[in-house]
Structure 1
Amino acid sequence: MSLIFPAISPAIRISRTSDCLLRHRSNQSLIRDKLVSESFGRRHNLWFSPGHCRINLQTGRQYKVKSEDSEGILSSESITLDEQTLEEELQSAIAEENYGKAAKIRDTLKDLQKDSKTSLLVANNRFYDSFRAGDLAAMQTLWAKKEEVCCVHPGVKGISGYDNVIESWEFVWANYEFPLEIKLKDETVYVKGDVGYVTCMEFVKTKGSRWGGQYVTNVFERIDGHWYICIHHASPVDL
């Protein structure tokens, strides 16, 4: 049985969108409210999905959805709200001189981007957790399984291809005693769609040695809602 709600004004629609994203950021593991976008040619529909219902933010109409559809929506770390769609809506609101609506959309975009940056930092931390522990099994799960991936260890040329990259970590760790001491400073995060990167200063100390410093760029790709590292480039820095 479908429930029909009265049309919602644009300001309320966008406000609810912002509220949903803020709740999601505050407790991602518990809050089930998500946003999805669907495209049909040049027409875009934005959906707000609390529980097992979906509300079309353009019309205010609510629909029940099958549980498997709802779970598919909820499993997406990216909140599956297309940034490009919101950017188009923003430009449209500006062109219409509807600056109140434009401000709301801009706030929603900022919330979405902050959420993506947070999940990317979590992925970057997982990479360094495996680095510290010398955990090859964990490292295998963190890299995108593609021939295009590349790893540049300090002082050597790049190694390409998933299998070669994983083998290089095994070789690098051969003479280390774990856990290693690793500190990160000056982390900067950038995300655009399903690609993002983290730059930072990486300080590594092995047993009986001094700290070594590298300037690092870690590039990630979001695949099926999860961030996978594609490029690790570490350049030695004199301390």
Structure 2
Amino acid sequence: MELRMRGLRPNASGDAPSFTSLNTHRWAVCRPCAFRPCVPTWRLRLVPRALHQEGGGLGPLERELDAAILREDYEQAAVLRDKLREQREGNLSGVLQANAAFYKAFGDADLPAMEAVWGKSESVQVIHPVAGCIAGRDQVLSSWQLILEGGALDITIHNVRAAATDTIGWVTCLEATKAGSRTGRVLATNIFQREGSGWKLVHHHGSII
């Protein structure tokens, strides 16, 4: 049986999924993105656990808070501090919920749910293990269709680290997968962007360990 899953190790009999054939099949329908220089608009810092990244994207409230402190209006500063904390916690919660929705769609092999998780922009990208970079919403979802055709699998995530600003969020985690006697582990980075009132996945990168 051909397995369209990522990072699975050989079972006791020594059988293993053919990554070469899987990769070839992906490239037949998925267009890789061209490598081109880009100018970063934000920076990442390593965070020790699932905490909101301090600063970034919350300028208006932060500026109001600074101004209140400068004029020694500490009552107003306390109100703004609480609002800022609530906004940061809300952003992080939204990113973590979107991340959970992604892995539920992945584990359930639910293509419509996977489509709903991803952003609408043509700038979305995915890098599956042992595959190149795939760019564009249609191409990204075509690659997931191939993977999800392999059926549902048990997938749990560990070592979750997350951060968020008002517009961008990112999560790193360890994916532990199991399908029958086969198991695998993949290190993943997921980047989310706010679209309307929700968060959508715009980049996923998985590396086998």
Deviations 1:183-233 (A, max 9, x none): 1112122111111111111111122212x1111111111111111110011
Which of 172, 175, 187 is equivalent to 1:202? Answer: 175
Could you say if the C-alpha distance between residues 200 and 183 of structure 1 is closer, same or farther in structure 2, counting changes exceeding 3 Å?
same
Q: Find the counterpart in structure 1 of residue 139 from structure 2.
A: 164
Q: Find the counterpart in structure 1 of residue 25 from structure 2.
A: none
Alignment of 1:38-117 (within 5 A): 83-117=58-92
Q: Which structure 1 residue ranges, 4+ long, deviate > 6 Å from structure 2?
A: none
Q: Could you tell me which amino acid in structure 2 is paired with residue 216 of structure 1? A: A
The alignment's C-alpha RMSD in Å is 1.6
- The answer to whether the Cα contact below 8 Å between 1:177 and 1:206 also exists between their aligned partners in 2 is no
Q: Find the counterpart in structure 1 of residue 162 from structure 2.
A: 189
TM-score by length of 1: 0.60
Q: How many residue pairs end up in the alignment?
A: 153
Q: Find the counterpart in structure 1 of residue 94 from structure 2.
A: 119
- The answer to whether the Cα contact below 8 Å between 1:201 and 1:214 also exists between their aligned partners in 2 is yes
Q: Find the counterpart in structure 1 of residue 202 from structure 2.
A: 230
Deviations 1:127-186 (A, max 9, x none): 111100111111111111221100111122111000000000112233x232x1111112
Report the Cα distance in structure 2 between the residues aligned to 1:222 and 1:121, rounded to whole angstroms: 13
| Residue aligned with 1:107, SS | helix
Counterpart check, 1:150 vs 2:95 = no
| Residue aligned with 1:120, SS | helix
TM-score by length of 2: 0.68
Mean Cα deviation higher: 184-193 or 96-105: 96-105
Which of 165, 177, 187 is equivalent to 2:151? Answer: 177
Which of 89, 96, 107 is equivalent to 1:132? Answer: 107
Determine which structure has the larger strand proportion and give its number: 1
Q: Find the counterpart in structure 2 of residue 213 from structure 1.
A: 185
Q: CA deviation at 1:100?
A: 4.4
Structure showing greater radius of gyration is 1
Q: Find the counterpart in structure 1 of residue 37 from structure 2.
A: none
Percentage of matched positions with identical amino acids: 34
Deviations 1:17-61 (A, max 9, x none): xxxxxxxxxxxxxxxxxxxxxxxxxxxxxxxxxxxxxxxxxxxxx
Q: Could you tell me which amino acid in structure 1 is paired with residue 187 of structure 2? A: Y
Q: Find the counterpart in structure 2 of residue 60 from structure 1.
A: none
Q: Could you tell me which amino acid in structure 2 is paired with residue 197 of structure 1? A: W
Alignment of 1:6-25 (within 5 A): none
Q: Could you tell me which amino acid in structure 2 is paired with residue 185 of structure 1? A: H
Report the Cα distance in structure 2 between the residues aligned to 1:207 and 1:169, rounded to whole angstroms: 21
| Residue aligned with 2:181, SS | coil
